[in-house]
Structure 1
Amino acid sequence: MASRDVITARQERLGTELRKLRERAGLTLRGAAQTLGISESRLSSTEAGRVGVSAERVRRLAGEYACDDAALVEALAAMASERGRGWWEAYRGLLPHGFLDLAELELRAAYLKSFENVRIPGLLQTEEQVRATYASPVSTLGEEQIEARVAFRLRRQTVLEEAEYEVVIHEAALRVRLADRKAAQRQLLHILEQSERPQVGLRVVPFDVDGFTLIGTPVLLAGGAVPQLDTALLDSPHAGTIIDAEAQLDVYRRVIHSVESAALGVVGSRDFIHRLMRHI
């Protein structure tokens, strides 16, 4: 199989997980390649995501590595079976690759959880909010780039048609006005409308919550088919940073748990936003 010209974050993750299985088995790259009857360079390329791997090969690798976690093996086999070009591929070469990786990871996630403390989550922004984000006075983007980013972010939001999404927003983010008062009210109304979806859970952390330390980094947790395949995404207007190291994942899981514990309930959060709309 020919080497890929472009390696997506998800393809790289599959290779990384296969490497982890080999290392847990105590096998070197050379030793594993000899056992499998393939070249060392081919196995190295597979673990780097430079070449594809079939579901059957994933299962064989897991067997050779004595991995008895059937759920993990099948989740990796499912990743290997993913084919076809997602809608985001139309933007390759036009937008930074981090944008595309973010869209694919969101679409493939078993569930999504996020926390935002300084801005409205990208998946809940109105078009005018998205446009104001990219067309700020300090922006150096040209008109074509702005339009591409706006269209891309709005297309990302279609994931909410099916995905389970739990989001916690700090009051600070709800009060930020990127445009005028009316635009801010329309944004809050849009959030309320999206929260009516049965698979969307919206909660708010007000300023007056006692003992809440405002966490500096907004985070999106994309749940994997098994916990080992969870991914944390540090979303931003310009790109996304992908975190999949287990120690760091545990940090962001705790972040999500902490803010969920501090937030109002779903009903209380909706009431809070209704009140805020009248006074913003």
Structure 2
Amino acid sequence: MALRPNPTLRQRRIGTELRRMREQAGLGGSQLARELGIQPAQITQTESGKGGISVERLRTIAAACMFDNQPLIDALADMVSERGKGWWEEYRGALSTDYLEIAELEANACSISTWATTYLPGLQQTEAYAAAVFSRFAPFTPSHDLEIRTAFRMRRKEAVRQSGIPYVSVIHEAALRMQFGGPRILADQLDHLIDDSLSGRISVRVVPFDLDTFPGCGENIMFVEGPVPELATLQMDTVAGCMFFDAQTSLIRHRSVFEHLNSTALSEAESREFIRSIGDEMRGKYA
């Protein structure tokens, strides 16, 4: 079987979980290869996501590692069995891999939680606000590329809404007030957030400046739950680009961040009134 030159996020995640199984068992790659009767290079290729794996081989590896977390094994087997390509593959070559992997992550999510501090979550942005954000962060990007990025973000937004998965959005007041494109675009964007909150599909919660709840994370983050807790993923926007984290220590820490935010943020009704007040303030700037 030919090696994958560019394994997807999920293919790499399967490999990562297989490596964790092996390391938990205290086995080196060569030791596991001898147990399975294969070449050590096959272990390396599989764990990097570049080499494919069958469900049968997956279960054989789990048995050789005496790994008894059956829900995780079954979830990985389902991932191995997946076939077909996602809608985001249409954009391969037109956008960087980061963009595609975020869409892939969302498409396989069981629930999504976002925490926004610098700009509003991509999954809730209006087209005008998204275009303004991309213009701000990439001032030298050709207009055609900006159009593709904006269109892709709108596709992501629609895909998550159509999936119907639970989505909790916690937004700091700083992100609500940051103006991209001016007060008119922001006012329309804030109206859209209120519509989201009233739709019953998205829970929108606000953390005001005067609420002492800042959790110590200045970046926009998205926490995606998988079919089992071990397959959750944290995605973080940074100046250097998009980053993904799946170490259990990181997942546990950020679960606690969201628990803290959910227990202290304004209620949904209070959040809508807070957002509406900022929207009225913005409209006063251009009325």
TM-score, normalised to structure 1's length?
Answer: 0.94
- Say whether residues 1:156 and 2:156 are aligned partners: yes
2:138 and 2:152 mapped to 1: Cα distance?
21
1:6 and 1:163 mapped to 2: Cα distance?
28
- Displacement, 1:213? 5.7
1:123 and 1:147 mapped to 2: Cα distance?
17
1:109 and 1:30 mapped to 2: Cα distance?
34
Alignment of 1:5-20 (within 5 A): 5-20=5-20
Counterpart residue identity of residue 276, structure 1 = I
- Aligned partner of residue 168 in structure 1, secondary structure: strand
Does the C-alpha gap of structure 1 residues 102 and 48 become closer, same or farther in structure 2, counting only changes over 3 Å? same
Per the alignment, residue 104 of structure 2 pairs with 104
Name which of 198, 201, 206 aligns with 2:200: 198
Q: Is 2:207–2:213's contact at 8 Å kept on the other side of the alignment?
A: no
- Displacement, 1:171? 1.1
2:198 and 2:247 mapped to 1: Cα distance?
34
Unaligned runs of 5+ in 2: 283-287
Post-superposition Cα deviations, 1:228-247, rounded to whole Å, max 9, x if no partner, equal 11110003698421111222
Does the C-alpha gap of structure 1 residues 173 and 60 become closer, same or farther in structure 2, counting only changes over 3 Å? same
Does the C-alpha gap of structure 1 residues 137 and 113 become closer, same or farther in structure 2, counting only changes over 3 Å? closer
Name which of 265, 268, 271 aligns with 1:269: 271
Per the alignment, residue 53 of structure 1 pairs with 53
2:198 and 2:44 mapped to 1: Cα distance?
47
Does the C-alpha gap of structure 1 residues 237 and 144 become closer, same or farther in structure 2, counting only changes over 3 Å? farther
Q: Is 2:219–2:238's contact at 8 Å kept on the other side of the alignment?
A: no
Counterpart residue identity of residue 80, structure 1 = V
Unaligned runs of 5+ in 1: none
Q: Is 2:234–2:251's contact at 8 Å kept on the other side of the alignment?
A: yes
Identical pairs, percent: 39
- Comparing 159-168 with 130-139, which one deviates more in the overlay? 130-139
2:215 and 2:47 mapped to 1: Cα distance?
40
Per the alignment, residue 232 of structure 1 pairs with 234
2:238 and 2:204 mapped to 1: Cα distance?
20
Does the C-alpha gap of structure 1 residues 207 and 23 become closer, same or farther in structure 2, counting only changes over 3 Å? same
Per the alignment, residue 171 of structure 2 pairs with 169
- Comparing 207-216 with 23-32, which one deviates more in the overlay? 207-216
2:245 and 2:199 mapped to 1: Cα distance?
28
Alignment length (residue pairs): 280
Counterpart residue identity of residue 166, structure 1 = V
- Displacement, 1:180? 2.6
Q: Is 1:223–1:229's contact at 8 Å kept on the other side of the alignment?
A: yes
Q: Is 2:173–2:209's contact at 8 Å kept on the other side of the alignment?
A: yes
